[in-house]
Structure 1
């Protein structure tokens, strides 16, 4: 818990006692306690601030709880173990939306929970007879893009695949009842180019966004009753604008794009009347806009800026002052604004980082921060391994930001520590100074953890992103290995005790770095990693066709056409199997629908063919994100036993 002038929420003693009950645990610092799913997570506050909802997880239960702030009692709770909730939010005082992904099928879907009755109903189901013609396949989605004035209906986009059109999908907009089992109805029909809708507070469509994957024609259409006006049109395969939401005065549609003057990711106002640009919504010259803070109808109130320590700015001056004054108490932490009331009088904040394993606070109208609960109450502040920033020069002189997590016991001396290099996934993403469960678990076992923000990472300006184009398997990899030398020179880490670990693209990066610099690493671990770029392109084309923005993006990153199979093989771990001299651990979720398990199977086979030292484990019923408690612990046990075998350490 953060120590400051922060008090507990008055009247929440019952909730706090319930949430902290598991704090009675062994004093021994175990890696498993860092890897466990947050006990309290996905906290949301109701529109009027009368209720809190949150997900409560342990090794024996996974439930969503709704708690009354008026009576200090639990209103209802439901078992969600089979649907893996990703996000929850109140759509009204009586209804809660649960966005989830089915554990077995990996289908993304949304449920509505009647808070008073504790009953749950899926909003949309695959049902061709109800939602499309009999020869159609109906694909449900979990997105809710708006609600009507009475909060009786949600508006949800769906993709419809018509067999007569082959692989052609059309995105329609459905009006879905929240309080009855009446059939949803189509309120707006899209075509094969429709990608998004914006609605006003009356539930009327006011913007339709289209993108032609073949011609790269991007179009934004303003709708006023029966009148449709094309307010923006441009042919651009990448770096195109994208619709985000509307301004509070409903005069502008807000679009995300790159500021050509600062080369920072930003958001711009586009007139709904005539398509004229009215400047940036909010901006800082030295910050990228990470995302917008908006309500269920996508009315935007502020933005979050990217970085190791995210920051916020609001359109309303008084709100901006109140929030940022309060957040000064949390400097040095990665702070998330998680949920808020309709009038922003109450805001739920999550603070993570040094001395905090993830703590929820309630920001009130007076600017006072009040502690609600900890995500991980069994982790004491003094057990958290400190995270510091540093930077180094790549081989070509580019400055590379990085994070270093040091074991608590070594934090004062930092002398010749065994180390783990941990590149992030994406690749267009970045690490934060929040609670990284894998970095913390590794550091708890005595390893310094290096997290390089290689070129191509976002959050450090678009110039830095562009520096990664054409460098997949090249400079994006050497940036990672370059992170080691400065720490060895300062005798912070031991050059003879280093392994590299990564997940998703980070798994690829770990494998590629180990192949290129085999003498630097004693072992390598890939979790759900990309291993075969030819297969990656094959799957992309198979599922989404030959003309997609994601395909263009992949080719830009690689710097070659997908048809250059020899080059793709030369930068794929499967094609580099002969180069590995160290033991390799491959872990992969069998239900991974982001990076298919076939990637790791292919590398396993290639390594076995070359008689390399490889251990392979498939995690049953697991997705790309290690979302299940059992498989996350299994994965960590595999990783630690493997690393300790090749780089022993003393805890």
Structure 2
């Protein structure tokens, strides 16, 4: 596995992390001499843990910074399935020479060895220092200046326990911070640092606005002191729709107008000149990830790179030399989780560096395309259909409908492990972007509010019916599968449309929305951010009880008729496992076909590889029984699941590719 690649400031050196057979290696390549230095930084085993590389970054051309986590697990009898007896956990941030020597531990003043703090700013213009944040014994979040050559650390700014993070400008000066107020942390404050060292409130935010779709997200420093690029979600009163890039000035406390904005899609990132901090491009997810450059010459370069890869590839700029002479880009596609390339701007030459998961066979993975369709009320919608490699254009293959979670998320034309796993088993997979999905503006996202089981479900149904009407699928040869909100959509589809769906799989999905809202209220209080978010999304139990109950699949247990598989993590703190347990009990009492698989120690997401395999194995067995593929599935087996132990290709290649 290849990860964490980046260019040194001059663009002469390239660093990346290789994971080979459970061991971590740092590779540093001199792009002029082609010499590669390698040094080991430990390893890990699946059931016993070990050392994991969190990130690697350049401080200067001569010095690297490396962050690692150690998590070692002791099991009874030293067996893989033995009960956990003890564990050791700690983190480290190191400074080291380019060749792996002269290692210096970096940590904040009086910090424990296993809890060094976090890097706040690498201070590119200061060769010897970085800024780190750390929690004191009293819980205050303070800032320290740390010497990367000696490890000496000096506190430069004090905070308090309610500070969550700090903001720095292009000079490394701390200009702002985010803190919370109130017993529940319901109110977030964006504060600016005054000349006298005191803090002034600039904006007041609710906590849920710092979730997946925050009103403000800091993107990086501008060329001017005290100014920061931010993405801003437009307000209804402003008449805007998509999130754009603005400049916030901490000195004047003023938010400027949008300097970059796409008319259809929310901004997802930016490209900034590494030397001048000038905004070069705004990036967004259309079907693929795109970055539109404001400079015509830079945009021509990016268009040339896109032509080099062809249609369907997402291109992102990972890092650049400070003089702009070299770009490190990552290219990915639905059948390729990513490859690194080095682009020489002057020579217009693209050099391949390596694949993230080299063992995945692209030509045997599923082929994805966009499907446009219209909802019954006239709303234009789209989704993505992935069909097995080599499938005949007119083949009516068994269809798995896979609504995304969130619900304020979205699917894109990118590699998806579950999609490819199912496609290599002979299924075609449909991912609809229903109303309520994010990334396509405020209006489209808010159109899903209080539409659980209604408009959002209708949008999923309309997509399936479009595929049937186009002759790509047969009614009765469709199952619906999803996780989180997608798990709810699977339950609701199975409960209300047994004539459309042959079976359903719900993974960590809510089944009783009234109970779910009560649980949210008990967890955080009726005035908490989480509860207010779900009230806006689902409905208010005080005024919408009948509608909420009608949209709850649990209430339809008596009329349920199709086979159902429920999978849930026992430690889920987002959708409690009680939601799946209640659904299983109700269906068993009604004599309906249901099976519940509970995963010990698993949360809502962030599963281990073993837990991921458990989920996919259960899905495959259930679908094989209830939605069998008529012909043998393609020979590709478990390689659709990216494996951290994959052996990489030979040393990344430097042969020149055709000019972009």
TM normalised by structure 2 equals 0.77
Deviation at 1:186, TM superposition (A): 7.0
Q: Is 1:521 aligned to 2:501, yes or no?
A: yes
Q: Is the 8 A contact 2:95 2:106 kept in 1?
A: no
Deviations 1:245-279 (A, max 9, x none): 33123353333223445411112123333233432
2:250 to 253, 272, 282: 272
Question: Which runs of structure 2 are paired with 1:343-354 in the superposition (5 Å)?
Answer: 343-353=323-333
Q: Distance in 2 between matches of 1:341 and 1:218?
A: 37
Structure 2 unaligned segments of length 5 or more: list them.
Answer: 74-86, 634-660
Residue of structure 2 equivalent to 1:46: 8
Q: Which residue of 2 aligns with 1:386?
A: 367
DSSP 3-state at the match of 2:467: helix
Conservation of the 8 A alpha-carbon contact between 2:394 and 2:472: yes
- Map 1:18-33; keep pairs closer than 5 Å: none
- Of the three residues 364, 368, 378, the one matched with 1:397 is 378
Q: Aligned to 2:267, which of 279, 286, 289?
A: 289
Q: How far does residue 431 in structure 1 lie from its aligned partner after superposition?
A: 1.4
Q: Distance in 1 between matches of 2:516 and 2:136?
A: 25
Structure 1: distance between partners of 2:551 and 2:413: 31
Residues 4-43 of structure 1 show CA distances to partners (whole Å, capped at 9, x for unaligned) of xxxxxxxxxxxxxxxxxxxxxxxxxxxxxxxxxxx33343
Query: In structure 1, how many angstroms separate the alpha carbons of the residues matched to 2:5 and 2:295?
Result: 24
Q: Distance in 2 between matches of 1:570 and 1:154?
A: 56
| Distance of 2:451 and 2:537 partners within structure 1 | 6
Q: Cα distance 1:319–1:627, how it changes in 2: closer, same or farther (>3 A)?
A: farther
The 3-state SS of whatever aligns with 2:413 is: coil
Q: Take 1:364 and 1:562, find their aligned partners in 2: how far apart are those partners?
A: 62
- Aligned equivalents of 1:140 and 1:510: distance in 2? 42
Find the counterpart in structure 2 of residue 16 from structure 1: none
CA change 1:123–1:596 in 2 (3 A) is farther
Q: CA deviation at 1:439?
A: 0.9
1:450 aligns with 2:430: yes
Corresponding residue of 1:28: none
Choose the corresponding residue for 2:343, options 359, 363, 367. 363
Aligned: 1:249 with 2:242: no
CA distance in 2, matches of 1:542, 1:177: 47
Contact 2:405 2:483 in 1 (8 A): yes
Over 3 Å counting, the alpha-carbon distance change for 1:201 and 1:285 in structure 2 is closer
Q: Which residue of 2 aligns with 1:305?
A: 284
For residues 530 and 118 of structure 1, the distance between their equivalents in structure 2, rounded to whole angstroms, comes to 52
Contact persistence 2:93–2:116 (CA under 8 A): no
Confirm or deny: 8 A CA contact 2:17 2:27 kept in the other structure: no
Which residue of structure 1 aligns with residue 451 of structure 2? 471
Q: Give the structure 1 partner of residue 393 of structure 2.
A: 413
Q: Do 2:316 and 2:329's aligned partners in 1 also have CA atoms closer than 8 Å?
A: yes
Could you tell me whether the CA contact under 8 Å between 1:78 and 1:118 is conserved in 2?
no
Note the C-alpha offset of 1:449: 0.7
Report what 1:555 is aligned to.
Answer: 535
Secondary structure, counterpart of 1:451 in structure 2? strand
Question: How far apart are the structure 2 equivalents of 1:531 and 1:297?
Answer: 52
Shift of 1:142: 7.8
Q: Specify whether residues 241 and 437 from structure 1 end up closer, same or farther in structure 2 by C-alpha distance, changes over 3 A only.
A: closer
- Cα pair 1:357 1:376 within 8 Å, conserved: yes
Deviations 1:328-360 (A, max 9, x none): 333321223333444443333222226645322
Q: Which residue number corresponds to residue 73 of structure 1?
A: 36
Q: Matched residue of 1:506: which SS?
A: helix
Shift in alpha-carbon separation, 1:222–1:448, aligned structure 2, 3 A: same
| TM-score, normalisation: structure 1 | 0.78
How many Å separate the matches in 2 of 1:448 and 1:608? 31
What secondary structure sits across from 1:377 in the alignment? coil
- 464-473 or 235-244: which moved more? 235-244
Q: How many residues align?
A: 596
Distance 2:540 2:330 in 1: 42
For residue 292 of structure 1, give the secondary structure of its aligned residue in structure 2: strand
Residue pairs, 1:118-157, within 5 angstroms: 144-148=119-123, 149-150=125-126, 152-157=128-133
Compared CA separation, residues 101 and 431, structure 1 to 2 (3 A): farther
Report SS of the residue matched to 1:409: coil
Moved more, 174-183 or 328-337: 174-183
1:187 is the counterpart of 2:179 = no
Partner of 2:22: 61
Deviation per residue, 1:608-646 (Å, 9 max, x gap): 444433333344565554654333333322211210111
Deviates most, 273-282 or 94-103: 94-103
User: Are the structure 2 counterparts of residues 596 and 217 from structure 1 closer, same or farther at C-alpha, using a change threshold of 3 Å?
Assistant: closer
Q: Secondary structure at the match of 2:499?
A: helix
Query: Could you say if the C-alpha distance between residues 333 and 89 of structure 1 is closer, same or farther in structure 2, counting changes exceeding 3 Å?
Result: same
| Corresponding residue of 2:480 | 500
CA distance in 2, matches of 1:427, 1:640: 25
Pair 569,247 (structure 1): closer, same or farther in 2 beyond 3 Å: same
**Structure 1 residues 79 and 236, CA gap change in structure 2 (3 angstroms):** closer
Aligned 1:107-256 pairs, distance under 5 A: 111-112=93-94, 114=96, 116-117=99-100, 144-148=119-123, 149-150=125-126, 152-157=128-133, 171-173=141-143, 175=145, 185=155, 187-190=157-160, 192=162, 194-210=163-179, 212=181, 219-223=189-193, 225-226=195-196, 230=200, 232-233=202-203, 240-250=215-225, 252-256=227-231
Q: Residues 530, 353 of structure 1: CA spacing in aligned structure 2 closer, same or farther, 3 A cutoff?
A: same
Question: Are 1:350 and 1:359, in contact at CA under 8 Å, matched by a contact in 2?
Answer: yes
Among 70, 85, 94, the alignment partner of 2:63 is 94
Compute the displacement of 1:584 (Å).
2.1
Distance 1:228 1:265 in 2: 31
Offset at residue 557 of structure 1 (A): 0.9
